[in-house]
Structure 1
Amino acid sequence: MKQEKLEQDCYYHIYNRGINGGPIFKSNENKSYFLKLINKYLSNKVSILAYCLMDNHYHMAIQVLEEEKMVTQAFSNLFNAYAKAFNKMHNRTGSLFEKHFRRIKIGDTNYLRNLIIYINTNPESHGVTEDYKTFKYSSFQTTISDSNDTVLMPIAKEEVINLFEDIENFEYLHEQKRSLGLDKLNWD
């Protein structure tokens, strides 16, 4: 299957999981390192609107800022660097991720808002936490936080809040996620 092109100025859902559904993150140290690599390889090439790192998969909502070839190469460098480090740390060899990273182009603002909510609430949907608001490795806390003290990875906070009109609506719509039918989406 041919991969969707990453067109400049367009929004995408980027996601993947571990090979055979296996873990791609075995510790918080792995997750923090992955976020560090995202900053290293993707900053100024994409704008991150939302992210969530689960043990066996990840999700990102991004806007492409640079030309497709540069962004695709940056993602490739990110995933290769992480896989090499993960394999070395956990004394393993071979592929870590299932196929190439997947991407879905986001065609409208409503879909983008729903995707951000889906990504931020993913840990609760998967039963990893009872309250998505407390999950450390998603963008929810960064979006609602007034300070940068606990920020693991910078996101396009102002753009995200503007998509939802204001912070109160952002939080309200996250709480209403099931009435929006988001639990019916199956991207994992």
Structure 2
Amino acid sequence: MGKRKGARSGVYHVMSRGSGKQIIFEDNADRRHYIDVMRASFSADSGVILIAWCLMDNHVHLLISGELADIAISMRLLSSSYAMYFNKRHARVGHLFQGRYKSVPIETDAQLAAVIRYIHQNPWKAGYSTSCDYPWSSYGEFLHCADDGTPATELLELFGGAEGFREFHAHLGGSQACTTEDAEFGSGHRAMPASIALDVARAALGGIEPGAVSSLPRAKRDASISRLGAAGLSVRQIERLTGVSKSTVARLLGH
């Protein structure tokens, strides 16, 4: 593993995703639990401050500040604690997160503003919502934060206050110089929102959870993949939901 690049500012855009692009949040109870663990992991005691965040179905975006060593400890605590909870609740085994989290150093105010917008626009670009006003991100925290010295309160000045913040987020596109990982961690397939895709998959599988498909006997696994394809899910969506490799899904669907 290569050495992480440090930021003179101490601010990093951190990205972590499910193993094999598998979903890591089955429902809102999972999302709430992750947020609870996230807030406990990033605290004054840990030396790591949470600035902005967004939970997607199979990955998370975090903007945090702190020393690299402290961030590593906090991320390890967050990932291991949540994985233990998730595996127990959903009766699964194995690694939940794929390898090491990615971190991109943020050095300038322009980069900082761009990455905050990029994080908050992820659900909009993916079709999860029709704006940045998404319940599982820090967008609302920035707009409704009290003048209490939190990072959101201080950073609103970058945008000229709440109205400037809202306007800056109101248009898709713009600079994404904050990260070179956009293609890998990008918003994904737009034809069917991920939240809808999960419901469609569950209905098509008749009681089998999508995340369990990869561990089924081969014949049953292949039949399940075929049903998901017939239900209108894309190869990439099936890969994300089931953890079955893209090449295998494509072969089974004749793509």
What interval of TM-score do these two structures reach, taking the shorter chain for normalisation?
Answer: 0.7 to 0.9
Deviation per CA, 1:98-142: give whole Å up to 9, x if none.
111110101211111111001011101111122221x11001111
Aligned residues: 179
Alignment of 1:40-59 (within 5 A): 40-44=40-44, 45-59=47-61
SS for the counterpart of 1:132 is: coil
Alignment of 1:150-161 (within 5 A): 156-161=151-156
Higher RCO (C-alpha 8 Å, min separation 6): 1
Distance 2:28 2:60 in 1: 14
Correspondence for 1:87: 87
Distance 1:90 1:3 in 2: 34
Q: Mark the structure with the bigger radius of gyration.
A: 2
Distance 1:104 1:20, change over 3 A: same
Q: Point out the more displaced range, 137-146 or 115-124.
A: 137-146
Q: Which runs of 4+ in 1 moved over 3 A?
A: 5-9, 181-187
CA shift for structure 1 position 146: 5.2
Q: CA RMSD in A?
A: 2.4
Does 2:28 correspond to 1:28? Answer: yes
CA shift for structure 1 position 69: 2.6
Does 2:11 correspond to 1:11? Answer: yes
Distance 2:110 2:154 in 1: 14
Correspondence for 2:161: 166
Amino acid at match of 1:110: A
The structure with the greater share of residues assigned to helix is: 2
Distance 1:7 1:115, change over 3 A: closer
Q: Is the 8 A contact 2:83 2:96 kept in 1?
A: yes
* TM-score between the two structures when normalised by the length of structure 2: 0.64
Distance 1:95 1:170 in 2: 38
Stretches of structure 1 lacking an aligned partner (at least 5 in a row):
148-154
Amino acid at match of 2:62: M
Does 2:140 correspond to 1:141? Answer: yes
Distance 2:60 2:90 in 1: 19
Stretches of structure 2 lacking an aligned partner (at least 5 in a row):
186-255
Correspondence for 1:151: none
CA shift for structure 1 position 181: 4.1
Distance 1:3 1:128, change over 3 A: farther
Distance 1:3 1:81 in 2: 25
Distance 1:79 1:146 in 2: 27
Distance 2:184 2:165 in 1: 22
Distance 1:187 1:60, change over 3 A: farther
The structure with the greater share of residues assigned to strand is: 1
Correspondence for 1:118: 118
